[in-house]
Every structure is written in C-alpha cells, then in structure tokens.
C-alpha cells in the first residue's frame, strides 16, 4: 500500500519518550518536527518506516523518531538504507544526515545511490559547517568563510549539491528551509511519494558554530520557486536555478522527472512480490535444499 492510500495519523504518534537534545535554536528541530508531520499526513505506520543516519548532530535524528531506525557510520547512511530497502522494499525508507556527512565522506555513496535510483528519500540538513566537531569548514562552506579549520578564510570552492544531483541523474531534487515548516512539509510529502531516489537539501542553521549563515541570513535571501513560475519538469531550468547563489537563493522543487525511470527495487527480479525479509517460499524441494547446504559445508 503506497503512502498516498493510507489514512492520516497524528504527528505525536511518531514522537518517542526521549526528546531531542540539540542546541537551543538549532535548525534540526524544524527538520524533525516537519518530518513527523509529513509521515503523519501520509499515514505511514511506525512499523513500516525506517530512518537511517550517518554521524553528526543531524544524524541523531533517528533516536528522536518513533519508528525503526539506525545510527550508522560516518557517511554511510545511504548504503545502509539501501540494504534496508532491498531487504524489505515494501518499507518507506528515509536516510538523513548533514552536509559534512553526506557531501564529504559520503559523496561516493551519494552519487551511486542516485545512479542506482534506490527508492528512498534523502534529507540532508545543510548548515555549511561541521557542527559535532565544533566548527570546521564543510564541503558547502562558502569561500572565505572563517572557521576553526580556516581562521584566515576558506580557500576551497563551495560544493553545489543541487547541480551535482541533477548531473548524476537524480529524478527528484528539492531544497527547503527549516525556518519555513509548511513549505518544507510539502517537499517532504512529495519526495516520500516519488517512485525513486529523492533528495531534499534543507538549510538548517547551526546557531552555535556558524555565525554567518544564520536564520536571518537565509530569510533575507531565499525565495520560493513555486511563486516564481519555475517549471520543475524542465531539467535545464532546474540546473539554472540550482546554480543560483548569492543575494537570492531558490528553495522549493527544483526538478521532478515527469517520466521517472523505474527504481532499482522495481526492476530487480528478486524483489518482485513481498519483501525479502518476509516469509516466502523458496521454490526448492527438500532434496535440492539439502544439496545446496552441503555445497557450503
């Protein structure tokens, strides 16, 4: 049963007993709250939802969510989430993490997950800094930015995850802002229902270690693509918007493939029917099974 056909639930059904412990004012609070509201709106049962994270402040999110979850290794949320999806493709799988986790050490997995078109949603809490390790430049830090690791200004170029995702063949590319929860919830629900890999890069300000890219900084710059006449079905238009950065920065649905290609779990012959994790008949006689076992003893 797809999320679109389930009855809505209440967001509180996804709130565990343990409250989040991020720094007061952290943008990740908004990311978490919106995700709870989005899955509630879609009516996804707790036991049919899996959230996987890497390492970092943002990657603590599965611990604050009442569902299946796993806090995996640094940069490895996507391969772990892929394994979960392949084991039970009937589950809704959401991967999450930060810009350092996903666009730094996890960059290779990021590209190949899009190439494989695994049917999952990837939420990246992009604060343009390494927060857990107390304030070093990340792949999305702006050139010239002064941090603990670059006290004289960041000499490196700034990674553009939106353009990279489009170039890698991602069929759903969006950017949100944790300071606009209603707009962000719409992106979440669309991404979760998309039949393939969906990326949402979320501006989630780090109030403790990034004093440059603050909530106020983003509020002055972001504008909604839905209000700017953007055609999200046009890849070239999406790439043009993806490259915008400066006085004006777009948020919203940048690109959604109007003719999405089948996801890997939809094409793999072994994944047709029930999920592999569920009881299935192997189609082997007792004698055939015995011979197979003997081969590996």
Q: What is the CATH number of the domain that holds 85?
A: 3.40.50.970
Does residue 120 belong to any structural domain of this protein? yes
The closest of 217, 56, 246 to 136, measured between CA atoms, is: 56
Tokens of 106: 């996890």
One-character DSSP codes across 84-134 = HHHH-TTSEEEEEEEHHIIIIITHHHHHHHHHHT-S-EEEEEE-SSBTTTT
pTM above 0.85, yes or no: yes
Does residue 237 belong to any structural domain of this protein? yes
- Opening angle at CA 133, ends 36 and 80, nearest 5: 50
* Residue 32 lies in domain: 3-265
Q: In terms of DSSP bridges, do strands 172-177 and 249-256 run parallel, antiparallel, or are they unpaired?
A: antiparallel
Does residue 277 belong to any structural domain of this protein? no
As a whole number of angstroms, the longest Cα–Cα distance in the chain is 71
**pLDDT tens sequence across 8-48:** 899 999 999 889 999 999 999 999 999 999 999 999 999 99
The count of structural domains within the chain is 1
Say what the pLDDT of residue 193 is: 97
Say what the pLDDT of residue 2 is: 57
**pLDDT tens sequence across 190-208:** 999 999 999 999 999 999 9
Does residue 105 belong to any structural domain of this protein? yes
Rounded to an integer, what distance in angstroms lies between the CA atom of residue 78 and that of residue 187? 20
Which residue positions in the chain have pLDDT lower than 50?
none
Does residue 143 belong to any structural domain of this protein? yes
Does residue 272 belong to any structural domain of this protein? no
Mapping DSSP to helix (H, G, I), strand (E, B) and coil, where does residue 30 land?
helix
Return all residues near 105 (Cβ < 8 A) that are at least 6 apart. Answer: 74, 75
Does residue 280 belong to any structural domain of this protein? no
Does residue 296 belong to any structural domain of this protein? no
Say what the pLDDT of residue 268 is: 86
Return all residues near 132 (Cβ < 8 A) that are at least 6 apart. Answer: 55, 56, 57
């Amino acid at each position: 049963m797809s999320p679109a056909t389930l009855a809505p639930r209440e967001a509180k059904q996804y709130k565990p007993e343990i409250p989040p412990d991020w720094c007061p004012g952290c943008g990740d609070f908004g990311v978490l709250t919106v995700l709870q509201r989005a899955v509630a709106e879609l009516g996804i049962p707790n036991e049919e939802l899996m959230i996987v994270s890497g390492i970092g402040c943002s990657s603590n999110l599965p611990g604050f969510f009442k569902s299946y979850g796993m806090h995996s290794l640094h940069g490895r949320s996507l391969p772990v989430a892929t394994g979960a999806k392949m084991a039970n493709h009937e589950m809704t799988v959401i991967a999450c993490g930060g810009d350092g986790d996903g666009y730094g050490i996890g960059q290779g997995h990021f590209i190949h997950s899009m190439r494989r078109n695994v049917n999952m949603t990837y939420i990246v809490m992009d604060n343009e800094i390494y927060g857990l390790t107390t304030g070093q430049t990340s792949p999305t830090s702006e050139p010239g930015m002064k941090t603990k690791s670059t006290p004289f200004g960041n000499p490196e170029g700034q990674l553009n995850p939106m353009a990279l995702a489009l170039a890698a063949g991602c069929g759903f590319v969006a950017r949100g802002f944790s300071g606009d929860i209603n707009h962000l919830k719409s992106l979440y629900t669309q991404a979760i229902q998309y039949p393939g890999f969906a990326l949402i890069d979320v501006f989630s300000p780090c109030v403790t270690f990034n004093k440059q890219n603050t909530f106020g900084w983003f509020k002055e710059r972001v504008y909604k693509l839905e209000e700017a006449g953007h055609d999200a079905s046009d890849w070239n238009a999406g790439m043009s918007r993806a490259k915008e950065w400066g006085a004006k920065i777009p948020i919203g649905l940048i690109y959604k493939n109007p003719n999405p290609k089948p996801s890997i779990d939809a094409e793999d012959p072994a994944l047709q029917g029930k999920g592999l994790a569920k009881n299935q008949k192997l189609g082997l006689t007792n004698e055939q099974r015995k011979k197979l076992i003997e081969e590996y003893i």
